[in-house]
A and B are shown apart, each in its own frame.
Chain A
């Protein structure tokens, strides 16, 4: 099926179609750019920390920062289920960089108590759901959350992110099917970055596009240039309006590219060419969005450089601080298994504490 792909900015950040330009306040746009810059910097510093053995793991976001647009198009009260490359949504909603850095270090201030791979975090306060690692599970959950919003008569929607690989999961089917049948206010956002570790998109489905599948579930679908901030914003905003009008879910297929390895554990040399990566680097979402803002005279190149520098320094300070903090104590192992610890678990806890006290 041939589909139209929504694109508003060209690869250099010039307006392709001025009629489609959304009306977003200047300050909001600049804050969005700053969030994208922070996400990029976290990526650069995060992998370095992993290579130095200071954090256990790193998951990349580079090239997919346009997802921040969804945070602008949604209300802060809307729920977002991230996959694991959507840190920008949490940051834009006010999740602090300090909290995020402490999480990466899995130190005593990490809300996840040093239990999760760095990058797998959530925040109830920011309606940003704690992610799993099993791929796809969040897709059906998002449909359920959206249904709850409808039942509770709240003017809210739920948006859920997932990858092209996840579109093969059982829960993708369940999610789109349940969402469609219940006409729940849910937005399915597939970040089709062309790869699921080493498996190319072509091996996930024989369908030409992921968005083609919307029809089979009786829901709305739209494909966008996922590296185009304005297209991303526009698609999510329209999907949100439809959802709030009671018209049900939308599947947004965002065409993007994972320009990095899958995670710190991956080496893409085994399975893909450098040229392909280079080609996609031309479509860098930060470059395009920055150029758009420069074109509008909202910022200058110099402002941008300062923005990068300022955030880089800030992050370095936060990293230095986070590094010195101790790791969560032994007894936290048994916290949060249940609301109150049952006797058998208390016994295990005492056994462990006793053992390591002696040792």
Chain B
């Protein structure tokens, strides 16, 4: 066991997997000597050299397209996009290429690669260092999406992602990169993609979240218990594609109340998908409207970011509204 934060856990996962599997290659901007702008790849170049820890030119479609080509030829690239806000030049390579190769070739050509990228607000990074665009990729058939919420999960999910036969977008909540440490086992363990975790059991309201918003959600659940005697069940999705809908179903059929929390803009966000799924399947169980707490439909601000982002108080207000409905 090693006591480490999320940065350390991801570093550990990369290091161990690169030792185990020679086909794993890390590439991206500043991933070498600098160890990445968040130091996630720190020290890896010393151990594995500049061929396997490849500092690339500043070009995201290059990074992803290069990785696609490597993956097609039997390597396991782990590409880093420095901030997910800068992923768009690579949209074509991700959406039209990585996510389509298997299908368009009848399963013949496959792209087992990972795209790691820090996402999300809470670091005063303004428009272009804060966004949470998961729904755009969730809307793209052929790419999986994992979002850890703590160091232990980060390592276990990343190992699953690297070993997965399909492309995986691994979204790292940078706001909690160093927020807390946890015991993380050395060596092998994986957390399967598509298995949610019930992190808090409860009977009145189901709360669903992922990534850094999970912690906001948990704080709200605690406040609901302490201040209002409302018992919330909290589900941590861990991966949003594939989605563990069974775990959500077990919970909402018990509580009859559902709130999802995500920091992305509201319209067509992943929370909208969750609302729709719950409505389609379990509307007759519901005792209150299906709610979501999200960011707003504005570009990501700087000074007003703490008002833009869901807070425990905003989630709590919805819990109370749902409970008293």
Could you list which residues of chain A lie within 8 angstroms of chain B, going by C-beta atoms? 56-57, 106, 114-117, 120, 132-136, 165-166, 168-171, 196-199, 203-205, 265-266, 270-271, 327-328, 330, 332-334, 337, 344-345, 348, 352, 355-356, 359
Contacts and interface: CB of A to CB of B under 8 A. Distances in A.
B298 A199 contact: no
Contact of B59 (A114, A170, A271): A170
A27 B56 CA distance: 46
A116 B302 contact: yes
B297 A197 contact: no
A197 B37 contact: yes
Interface string B189-224: 000000000000000000000000000000000000
Contacts of A57: 124
A334 B59 contact: no
Contacts of B86: 134-135
B124 A333 contact: no
Given A117-B125, A134-B128, A345-B297, A198 B267 contact: no
B59 A328 contact: no
Interface string B266-306: 11000000000000000000000000000011110111100
B66 to A, nearest CB: 12
A166 B29 CA distance: 12
Contacts of A197: 29-30, 34, 37
Given A133-B128, A337-B297, A348 B307 contact: no
B58 A199 contact: yes
Given A205-B57, A334-B298, A328 B304 contact: yes
29 contacts: A56-B302, A57-B124, A115-B301, A115-B303, A116-B302, A117-B126, A117-B302, A134-B86, A165-B57, A168-B58, A169-B58, A169-B89, A170-B59, A197-B37, A199-B32, A199-B55, A203-B57, A204-B58, A266-B37, A327-B303, A328-B303, A333-B298, A333-B301, A337-B298, A352-B296, A352-B307, A355-B317, A356-B307, A359-B313
B34 A115 contact: no
A344 B302 CA distance: 22
Nearest to B265: A348
B56 to A, nearest CB: 8
Contact of B126 (A116, A266, A345, A352): A116
A128 B3 CA distance: 50
Nearest to A342: B297
B127 A116 contact: yes
- Listed from nearest, the 9 A-B pairs whose CB atoms lie closest are A198-B34, A114-B303, A133-B128, A168-B57, A165-B58, A271-B33, A168-B58, A56-B124, A168-B59
A196 B61 CA distance: 17
Residue among B35, B296, B303 facing the most chain A CB atoms (10 A cut-off): B303
B117 to A, nearest CB: 14
Contact of A106 (B297, B298, B303, B313): B303
B129 interface: yes
A166 B128 contact: no
Contacts of B97: none
Given A114-B302, A114-B303, A198-B32, A135 B297 contact: no
A343 to B, nearest CB: 12
Contacts of B313: 359
Contact of B127 (A115, A135, A196, A266): A115
B152 interface: no
Nearest to A334: B298
Output the residue of B29, B129, B317 with the most chain A CB within 10 A: B29
Given A106-B303, A114-B301, A199-B29, A134 B88 contact: yes
Given A56-B126, A116-B126, 7 more contacts: A56-B124, A169-B58, A170-B59, A196-B29, A197-B34, A198-B33, A327-B303
B164 interface: no
Nearest to A106: B303
Contacts of B37: 197, 265-266
A165 B30 CA distance: 11
Nearest to A358: B317
A132 B301 CA distance: 14
B244 interface: no
- From B56, B61, B129, B296, residue with most partner A Cβ within 10 Å: B296
Contact of B304 (A114, A166, A168): A114
A169 B60 CA distance: 8
A133 B85 CA distance: 9
A170 B61 contact: yes
Contacts of A166: 58
A271 B34 contact: yes
Contacts of A328: 303-304
Given A168-B58, A337-B299, A199 B30 contact: yes
Nearest to B36: A198
Q: Of B37, B124, B128, B298, which is in contact with the most chain A CB atoms at under 10 Å from its CB?
A: B298
Contact of A330 (B33, B56, B267, B304): B304
A76 to B, nearest CB: 28
Nearest to A134: B86
A135 B90 CA distance: 13
Contacts of A332: 304
Contacts of A333: 296, 298, 301, 304, 307-308
